[in-house]
Structure 1
Amino acid sequence: MRVEIWSDINCPWCYIGKARFERALERFPHRGDVEVVHRSFELDPRAPHQARPVVPLLAAKYGMGLEQAEAAEQGIADNAQAEGLAYVRAGRDAANSFDMHRMLHFAAEHGRQAALLDLLYRANFAEEASAFAPGRLVELAVEAGLDGAQAARVLADRQAYADAVREDEATASAMGATGVPFFVFDRRLGVSGAQPADTFTAALEQAWESRTVLTPVDAENAAGACGPDGCELPQR
């Protein structure tokens, strides 16, 4: 069985949702027969490549004060920490993620996609230094087990793996995905948002046992998701 996960490195709920899904997968009896594939989804394809502080971005996007934006970040941090994830709230930044997605496709060809994705999430949400700093992406690629010179060439060639990223995004759009994380089980069952682990357990069981047309699970009540208009903010 194949599970495809559409996500963006800028999306904190993708970071959290991945942990919740993996907790469900760990206790799934057929986990050895489940292939997990990570797909690209840019929350803001027009975002500048220059990193900008997250808190002012949140304040501007939602029309709130800086204190409210800081409280929203703390709420997301609380959710992450409840899953055992490190989350650096102060000083976090964001930027265009297209190059990260291209590098993830390069990593997939070499069997290192999952390792690189974990490192990208760690760099963006759990470390003080910016994940978008010059040279950082190649450093992370090397840490994931990829050849540094090859990774640098991929990064320098703006067309390398660009079509693969766009294809992922087009597929997500065709399936009706408007935000991430978005989980698709054997192209038959869809789960939107960073749902509780029990929801992912139920989806794994249903997808394993059934052969139905793609059915959204809790699509109208997606829990913890990011979309073009921003990320869901925890209620305080």
Structure 2
Amino acid sequence: MRVEIWSDVICPWCYIGKARFEKGLAAFAGRDGVEVVHRSFELSAGAPRDGGKTVGAELKAKYGWDDAQLKAMEDRVGAAAASEGLGMRHDRFVTGTFDLHRLLHLAKERGLQDRLLDALYAATFAEARPIGEDDTLVEIATGAGLDADEVRRVLADDTAYADAVRADEKEAAELGATGVPFFVIDRRFAVSGGQPAPVFTQALEQAAAAGGLQTVAGAADDGAACADDACDVP
């Protein structure tokens, strides 16, 4: 069985949803036969990788939120992260993620994709590091096991793995994904949003038994997602 997960590094519900999926997978009897592949999705396609603006400033500027609205949203997301044992800093940075996704494709070739994604999530949300800066990004990637020179070569070459990122994004659109996280199981079942762990377990069990049945699983109230820079927070 293959599970493909479309996500973005700056999406808090992708960060939370990955942890929930892994708990759901751990409860699935056939977990040893599951291959997990992470796919690219940009919430801010074309945005510069400068890492200079905090998420609070970005959301207030984009949506006209006041301090109280921003705090309410961040408190809800922070509580959801804490419930999964994850850290969540409110002073984290926003950045364009195209280059980060290119590095994740490099990491996939080296068998380190999951490790790099975890490291990028931790740096973004738990540590509020400026992941848009080259030196910080190289440090994170090498900490996940990648070679520093190879990482710098990929960052310096705008074409490296660019087609792979765009192919992932094209597939997401073809599958009807309008937000992330978006989980596709054997191209038969789709789970949208950071659903609770039991929803993922149930979807895996249904996919294992369903043969060619195509359906969508996961409509729980607390399965939030991010789309176009906005997070749907219950």
TM interval, shorter chain, is over 0.9
Q: Deviations over 1:149-190 (max 9, x none)?
A: 111101110000000000000001000000000000000000
Moved over 3 A (4+): 218-222
Q: 1:192 to 1:201 in 2, by over 3 A?
A: same
Spell out the pairing of 1:25-40 with structure 2 (5 A cutoff): 25-40=25-40
Please identify, of 151-160 and 54-63, the stretch whose mean Cα deviation from structure 2 is larger.
54-63
Q: Deviations over 1:23-44 (max 9, x none)?
A: 0111111110000000000011
Q: Distance in 2 between matches of 1:133 and 1:151?
A: 13
SS in 1 for 2:134: coil
- Other-structure match for 2:109: 109
Q: Report if the CA contact (8 A) 2:5-2:182 is conserved.
A: yes
Whether 1:159 and 2:159 are equivalent positions in the alignment is: yes
- Other-structure match for 2:59: 58
Q: Report if the CA contact (8 A) 1:61-1:230 is conserved.
A: no
Q: Deviations over 1:91-129 (max 9, x none)?
A: 211010001000000000010001000000000000043
Q: Report if the CA contact (8 A) 1:56-1:66 is conserved.
A: no
* TM-score, reference length from structure 2: 0.95
Please identify, of 40-49 and 102-111, the stretch whose mean Cα deviation from structure 2 is larger.
40-49
Q: Report if the CA contact (8 A) 1:192-1:222 is conserved.
A: no
- Other-structure match for 2:125: 125
Q: Which amino acid aligns with 2:168?
A: D
Please identify, of 46-55 and 9-18, the stretch whose mean Cα deviation from structure 2 is larger.
46-55
Q: Which amino acid aligns with 1:3?
A: V
Q: Distance in 2 between matches of 1:118 and 1:194?
A: 16
SS in 2 for 1:135: helix
Stretches of structure 1 that go unaligned for 5 or more consecutive residues are none
SS in 1 for 2:208: helix
Q: Distance in 2 between matches of 1:130 and 1:71?
A: 24
Please identify, of 71-80 and 52-61, the stretch whose mean Cα deviation from structure 2 is larger.
52-61
Q: Distance in 2 between matches of 1:99 and 1:151?
A: 10
Q: Report if the CA contact (8 A) 2:195-2:220 is conserved.
A: no
**Residue identity (%):** 53
Q: 1:60 to 1:220 in 2, by over 3 A?
A: farther
Spell out the pairing of 1:61-210 with structure 2 (5 A cutoff): 61-89=62-90, 91-210=91-210
Q: Which amino acid aligns with 1:74?
A: D
Deviation, 1:221, is 6.5
Please identify, of 24-33 and 7-16, the stretch whose mean Cα deviation from structure 2 is larger.
24-33
Q: Distance in 2 between matches of 1:131 and 1:151?
A: 14
Q: Which amino acid aligns with 1:76?
A: V
Q: Which amino acid aligns with 2:206?
A: Q
Stretches of structure 2 that go unaligned for 5 or more consecutive residues are none
